[in-house]
Chains A and B, each alone.
Chain A
């Protein structure tokens, strides 16, 4: 009979469902769920973030007196939980909001994680955090910048990263300073892809610049993962903006750099909004064609022996890559989350939530260049900030702005290749 066999298959499927539920609880470890893109087009970010978080776990679980300024580094384990160790449970969101949600549910109910960090793509952060909210588990996003995430009235949602309105402030001040230094900054072209990240950040910057009296903003949008960008570069070549602001992922950032060289186009000032331009793959691929590009980053290596330099070293040993802003923000978010668990002295979600709300970290307790970490009612870090860095030699970014934090003076105009 047909149905009998169908039934057999179904019960086999059901059995495998049952097996999936077999999770063993371990004592003395605090499990933290992490949702990242580990497959698909953004998988390189997941791979880098995984390495960075493993370094962070090493710093927390083992004694690192050389990093004593960072919370949790000096002693082994969490002092507030009598030396308990932290354990990462990483899940792949597969670039799908539904999968992100499934994995959030699995992390909470099967793996019994005490908090979740994630999920890179804003759309997936949106759906995965909705599950955490329903279950009353703290969810911290170190990366997702979509404005609506903190506008939902969630009580368990926190975000450490700077967001688009912060970018507007940073870019506006930076461009004002560059103008004072003699650069022309009147006509600004916003080059962005049509993803949620690209279009929403470009929108916020366009309106923000208008409010600050910067007219003459040109919008150049393109489809993400473009097969060809010659038309866009030619558009820029024709319109001759003073400043080109790139809001792009790695794939398109690489193609832009190559196309700009082949069409011999150099804007006087090229400024990038993090993302693709921070990816070490970008520098390896086309760094030499992008000398002098400015980039937003809250990460700067700092002098030898400084906590950030030590962390950068550990990360390079682990992954073989240079430390950069994207993974730095992941790591910082993780430290903030674990610091709250440590201060809560408990794995009770409500106590962790309260500790997160009471977070007040100073700049010297961070590896990133935020002015601190302190959450408002909506869960947004109000002290999030960033520097401007520049790829002066085509190999390594150096911080050039603001002056208080600059290793070198900004180099103008854009050199290219």
Chain B
């Protein structure tokens, strides 16, 4: 039962946060933290646990965002339809992308995902039906509650919190299942795992599809809150990088790593922007860049790995290693 104690406290705190800090901006920041935590946790399944560093995850994010805005703009439906719609498209796309690219190792996989993401962005930019460069808008004035167009950030906050809990439960369930066992084996040594009979290709593909589905949910939720998507904000490569950085900074391959990463980076970005952005001297990004750099330099495994090490954690966490040089 002790294992459930801290997650429960953490959850209770998350539920109480918007009620304790009631300013609309803080509530919205909280909602954004949860949103990016969902996206980064989804990325973590394939990038952290399977060790396949995807830099093109924004493709799936875009699937959800475009499905949500498309259901409203094209069919007059509630953007909520974007959640199942986005999942279907994202999983199908993940299968198509995954089969040829997942056999690539390390950097080649990362580059392939960048190329796929950029191709999709360019295709959508030139597709009139998807709003081309202008983008798609959601309902500006809500027709009913299912349009999810609220003044307050509270409904979004609790919706995102619910989805985050589900995402973490799925991740937790996955790591403790046969699939998680295979993934750990593959990440340590794919060749060894294969020779021991682990279905490496299939396992990686399933992880990729699961991750894609959850990322698309994050995209749909994002679009509902912002009420707009265009190729840059729905399919831009920077969003992939942002998601990846949150997971890596918190601790990739750790259940709560992406949550910690999001809880640090989202407020850091918004608050430094609020304080420094208006001066127009670029200082926001000097600070942001320096902090990321320092964490990578001194804590390459992410912030949570520091805590695990200093406290001398009894249970060995999944190693926060991607491909590339291992010591």
Contacts and interface: CB of A to CB of B under 8 A. Distances in A.
B67 interface: no
Contacts, number: 175
Given A43-B280, A96-B233, A97-B233, A7 B6 contact: yes
A10 B261 CA distance: 10
A109 B140 contact: no
A223 B233 CA distance: 17
A97 to B, nearest CB: 5
A46 B284 CA distance: 15
B300 interface: no
Contact of A5 (B24, B141, B307): B307
B13 A6 contact: no
A146 interface: yes
Contact of A153 (B7, B10, B140, B222): B140
Nearest to B28: A105
Interface residues on A, range: 35 or more
A302 interface: no
A133 interface: yes
Interface in B223-265: 225-228, 230, 232-233, 256, 259-260, 263-264
Interface residues of B, number: 59
A20 B271 contact: yes
A195 B133 contact: yes
Interface in B21-41: 21, 23-26, 28-30, 32-33
A97 B10 CA distance: 31
A147 B271 CA distance: 33
B9 to A, nearest CB: 7
A17 B26 contact: yes
Interface in B249-295: 256, 259-260, 263-264, 267-268, 270-271, 273-274, 277-280, 282, 284-285
Interface string B315-327: 0000000000000
Contact of A109 (B24, B271, B285): B24
Contact of B137 (A89, A98, A105, A126): A126
Contacts of A382: none
A7 B140 contact: no
Contacts of A10: 10, 13, 260, 263
Interface in A226-282: none
B110 interface: no
A207 B279 CA distance: 41
Q: Which 5 A-B pairs have the closest CB atoms?
A: A3-B6, A92-B277, A90-B278, A38-B280, A5-B307
Given A7-B10, A90-B279, 7 more contacts: A50-B280, A98-B225, A98-B226, A110-B23, A133-B140, A194-B133, A200-B134
22 contacts: A2-B6, A2-B307, A2-B313, A6-B6, A7-B6, A10-B13, A16-B267, A17-B30, A19-B271, A20-B25, A21-B25, A36-B280, A39-B277, A91-B277, A94-B277, A96-B233, A97-B233, A98-B225, A99-B270, A148-B137, A199-B134, A200-B134
